[in-house]
Structure 1
């Protein structure tokens, strides 16, 4: 009943712990019935609030009318007012997005700036029960996981929705009962927007069969939110059991994933954060039964079958640079760390065997040197071998996975590879009994 709206409003805020009554709340007010009623409720409840209004300049005189109406509302309620105007059309062209996306991005960015600058604890929007039901229904039609069925949440970080408990009809009736004026947005009438189509066409038809459809779906949404808590607790346990990280590579044990029930759901929760789409999920699951080397590439990552593991690595966005070393006294930073160069006399010191150290016969090395990633067709003469060997074959023999291969760099002198960095030097530049000076190179981790 509309006469109980204020009491239910205060009770809902307390029950959901949306904010402390002593805190200041910034209200996003468009001038429509929902946000205007919300402003009146905040005033009547005695909460400290400010009003923020965005003019998107999309409806000519109507946009100006809305702005002036909100100005008068703030004056009537004696509430601080913050307003702004956006060139929304220019934003859509500059960022190549739709009007709806542009308005949402501009609105929330500005509202958050005002909230922080003026010292408000939270931003309140006037989403109500129908808005939440429409959101869940649209998500269900588009295809969604359980998270898409919880509707609009009462609280997300600094954004609160204190009217989610209220039916739209109750808000309209409350405005009529208390003679609260508001303005109508003409864009809400057209069905060209998806939400309006659901609001004006789909839900009313459902209510013809089930008059309490909105309330019933809202009750289901409440239960879905609680079910999601249990769901996420289970997902967290599976994630801890199945997903491991080493450096910038994530690893999933194939056998454990194969034996997981329910496989599809758990796999989706593990992989969706790595750019995996619903369509690609089946391709990834096929990797569980494929040979090593097969992979699926998402928009952001590569998922590779490597023996007993699925390896997940970021997709390289650009070609690695080539570094030129002009003298034997340089230090070079690159993706894998740093190379430190120095030239010294041969002396009596034992030749180091550590993989991260390379001692070369300085007389057989010509500057400048080139540091680059290896590529197909590269070859060298591995230390101790009289015949040349393709780098690709050498890496296979080292049992490197595809992600590990992609991190391999080579050092080149006079178009000859003299070091597979951190792995093996070339036999042609090794130190011999006739060596007088040494080019010593040390691979160190990046600071």
Structure 2
């Protein structure tokens, strides 16, 4: 009933732990009945609030009327007012988005700026029970996971929705009971927008068959929220069991994933954070029975079958530029590492061996040196081998994964590879008993 609205309002805020009385709340007020009633309820409850209004300049004189109305409302309630005007149509052109998306992005960006600048704890919007039900129904029709069925959440980050407990009719009745003035938005009348079509056509027909449809669906939405909590707990356990972090990549054991139940759902939850679409999830699951080396490219990552693992790596970077080294000593930063060169006398000491250090006969090396990523067709004479070998074949023999292969660099002198960096020098440039001066090159 409308005369219990204030009591139910404060009880809902307390029950949902939306905020406490020490915190200031910024109210997003359009001038419509929902947001105006919300402003009156906050004022009557004695909370510390301010009013924020956006003029999207999309409805000509009507937009100006709404702005003036909210200014008068703030004055009558003795509340601070923050307002702004947007060139919404220019934003849609610049960012290639719809009017609805543009308005939403502009609104929330500005509201957060005001909240942060003026010291408010949260932004309150006037979404009510019907809004939440409409959202869940639209998501259900478009196709969604369990998260799309929880409707509009009471609290998300810095946004709170303190009217989700209330049906639209109650808000309208409350405004009439207390003679609260508000303005009508003509864009809410048309069925041009998807939400309005559900609001004016779908839900009323459902209520003809089931008068309590909205409240019943709201109860279902509440249960879906709780079910989602259990669902996410289970997903978190599977994620911990299956996802292994390695450097800037992730690995999933193929056999463990194949034995996971339910496979489709868990795979989707694991892969969606790596830019994987629903259709691509099916492609990834096909990798479970494919040979090593096959992969699926998502919007942000590459998922590769690598022996007994699925290897998930960030999208391959563009080829790095060539680095020209004119002389020694020198220090060159490349990729995520750096190269150091120095000359020293051969001496009598034994030269230590380590993959990260190349010891070369300086007399056989001519500057400038070229540091670059390897490419197909490259070959060299691996140390200890009398015959040349393609770098691609050498990397296969080293059992490198595809991302590791993509990150291999070579150093060349006079168009001949002298070192597959960090792995093997060329036999033609090795130190011999005749070597007098050594070129030491180290990668870190």
User: TM-score normalised by the shorter chain: which range applies?
Assistant: over 0.9
Cα deviation, residue 429, structure 1: 1.1
CA distance in 2: counterparts of 1:319 and 1:208, whole angstroms: 63
CA distance in 1: counterparts of 2:430 and 2:300, whole angstroms: 41
The count of residues paired between Structure 1 and Structure 2 equals 444
Distance change in 2, residues 1:317/1:86 (3 Å): farther
SS for the counterpart of 2:328 is coil
Equivalent in the alignment of 1:284: 284
Equivalent in the alignment of 1:23: 23
Equivalent in the alignment of 1:71: 71
Equivalent in the alignment of 2:146: 146
Equivalent in the alignment of 1:230: 230
CA distance in 1: counterparts of 2:137 and 2:222, whole angstroms: 14
CA distance in 2: counterparts of 1:317 and 1:51, whole angstroms: 47
Distance change in 2, residues 1:107/1:187 (3 Å): same
Equivalent in the alignment of 2:135: 135
CA distance in 2: counterparts of 1:336 and 1:422, whole angstroms: 13
Distance change in 2, residues 1:20/1:254 (3 Å): same
Q: Structure 1 runs of 4+ off > 3 angstroms?
A: none
CA distance in 1: counterparts of 2:280 and 2:128, whole angstroms: 36
CA distance in 1: counterparts of 2:370 and 2:204, whole angstroms: 70
CA distance in 1: counterparts of 2:416 and 2:289, whole angstroms: 41
CA RMSD of aligned residues (A): 1.0
Cα deviation, residue 92, structure 1: 1.3
Equivalent in the alignment of 1:418: 418
Equivalent in the alignment of 1:372: 372
SS for the counterpart of 2:288 is helix
Single out whichever of 95-104 and 111-120 deviates more from structure 2. Answer: 95-104
Residues 295-310 of structure 1 mapped to structure 2, 5 A cutoff: 295-310=295-310
8 Å CA contact retained: 2:303, 2:312: yes
CA distance in 1: counterparts of 2:371 and 2:84, whole angstroms: 53
Equivalent in the alignment of 1:59: 59
Equivalent in the alignment of 1:271: 271
Equivalent in the alignment of 2:359: 359
8 Å CA contact retained: 1:336, 1:407: no
Equivalent in the alignment of 1:9: 9
Cα deviation, residue 194, structure 1: 1.3
Cα deviation, residue 362, structure 1: 1.4
CA distance in 2: counterparts of 1:405 and 1:81, whole angstroms: 59
Query: Which runs of no fewer than 5 residues in structure 1 stay unpaired?
Result: none
Q: CA-to-partner distance for each residue in 1:99-155, whole Å, 9 max, x for gaps?
A: 111111111111111001111011101111111111111111111111111111000
SS for the counterpart of 2:441 is strand
Single out whichever of 405-414 and 36-45 deviates more from structure 2. Answer: 405-414
CA distance in 1: counterparts of 2:325 and 2:384, whole angstroms: 26
Cα deviation, residue 9, structure 1: 0.1
CA distance in 2: counterparts of 1:377 and 1:406, whole angstroms: 14
8 Å CA contact retained: 2:319, 2:373: no
CA distance in 2: counterparts of 1:321 and 1:270, whole angstroms: 35
CA distance in 2: counterparts of 1:358 and 1:164, whole angstroms: 68
CA distance in 2: counterparts of 1:275 and 1:344, whole angstroms: 50
Single out whichever of 425-434 and 242-251 deviates more from structure 2. Answer: 425-434
Equivalent in the alignment of 1:391: 391
8 Å CA contact retained: 2:356, 2:442: yes
Residues 76-95 of structure 1 mapped to structure 2, 5 A cutoff: 76-95=76-95
Residues 402-441 of structure 1 mapped to structure 2, 5 A cutoff: 402-441=402-441
CA distance in 2: counterparts of 1:328 and 1:201, whole angstroms: 78
Q: CA-to-partner distance for each residue in 1:161-200, whole Å, 9 max, x for gaps?
A: 0001010111111111111111111111121211111111
8 Å CA contact retained: 2:332, 2:340: yes
CA distance in 2: counterparts of 1:402 and 1:135, whole angstroms: 43
Distance change in 2, residues 1:236/1:370 (3 Å): same
CA distance in 2: counterparts of 1:166 and 1:433, whole angstroms: 90
Q: CA-to-partner distance for each residue in 1:233-270, whole Å, 9 max, x for gaps?
A: 11111111100010011000011111111111111110
Cα deviation, residue 319, structure 1: 2.5
Cα deviation, residue 352, structure 1: 2.1
SS for the counterpart of 1:289 is coil
CA distance in 2: counterparts of 1:269 and 1:302, whole angstroms: 17
Single out whichever of 343-352 and 59-68 deviates more from structure 2. Answer: 343-352
Cα deviation, residue 349, structure 1: 2.6
8 Å CA contact retained: 2:27, 2:124: yes
Q: CA-to-partner distance for each residue in 1:392-420, whole Å, 9 max, x for gaps?
A: 10001011111111111111212111111
Equivalent in the alignment of 1:316: 316
Cα deviation, residue 317, structure 1: 4.2
Cα deviation, residue 318, structure 1: 2.4
Cα deviation, residue 351, structure 1: 1.9
CA distance in 2: counterparts of 1:173 and 1:318, whole angstroms: 62
Cα deviation, residue 321, structure 1: 2.4
Q: CA-to-partner distance for each residue in 1:200-240, whole Å, 9 max, x for gaps?
A: 12211222222211111110000000001111111111111
Single out whichever of 69-78 and 402-411 deviates more from structure 2. Answer: 402-411
